[in-house]
Amino acid sequence: MDDHLPPSPNSFSLNPIPTKDLKSELPHKDWPHAPVHRLGTNGVYFITAGTLKKIHLFNTSEKLDLLERMLLSLSKEHKWQLEAWAVFQNHYHFVARGRPDSTPMRDFLAELHSRSAIELNRLDGVNGRTVWHNFWDTQLTYQYSYLARLNYTHQNAVKHKLVPVANQYPWCSAAWFERTASPAQVKTIYRFKMDRVRVEDDF
């Protein structure tokens, strides 16, 4: 399992992100590089997407694994640096940083939704079912808003009362973040209050 984890970084600068061809039905968990935690010129976005009618379609560990691993792998293919993510039975959130050569976010999400819907429908033995309803995107341009949404995403499983501590939820970035970032960075991000964060999260 350790082969899939990123090394401990010497710094929090962006490194070139290799692309990965998703040929297997369920790709390995392809961890992103270390988080950067500062705003840049290429755009940082907070994304939320929900299933049609908020139905709990990703309702098994296998299906949550599928969605999370597709998110991790396709973000690399489309050259978006994930900095926080949380995947649930009927929605997901993530924070991602763009590069000059990143695919447009809309194209990245279109492929994620198409491929995850096809595979989910195959697992459930149904044809042509609409899985995803909509997505909401916010470009983060203020440092406080950025850091607060990082914390919001890491802690989202706690907000939904799925676990008492964020790093206990397998399908989010909290445990990865705590392993990858420095103790000072973890303390800083987790200190940001989330009560003023306005997010489409009625799921």
**CATH number for the domain that contains residue 142:** 3.30.70.1290
Q: Is residue 107 part of a domain?
A: yes
- Give per-residue pLDDT as tens, 53-102: 999 999 999 999 999 999 999 999 999 999 999 999 999 999 999 999 99
Q: Is residue 25 part of a domain?
A: no
Q: What is the pTM of this model?
A: 0.80
Q: Which two tokens stand for residue 191?
A: 């200190």
Q: Is residue 14 part of a domain?
A: no
- CA–CA separation, 79 vs 16, rounded Å? 9
What sign does the dihedral 177-178-179-180 (CA atoms) show? Answer: positive
Which residue range is the domain that position 48 belongs to? 40-190
Read off the pLDDT band of 10 (50, 70, 90): very low
Minimal CA–CA distance to 171: which of 77, 57, 104, 72?
A: 72
As for how many domains the chain has, the answer is: 1
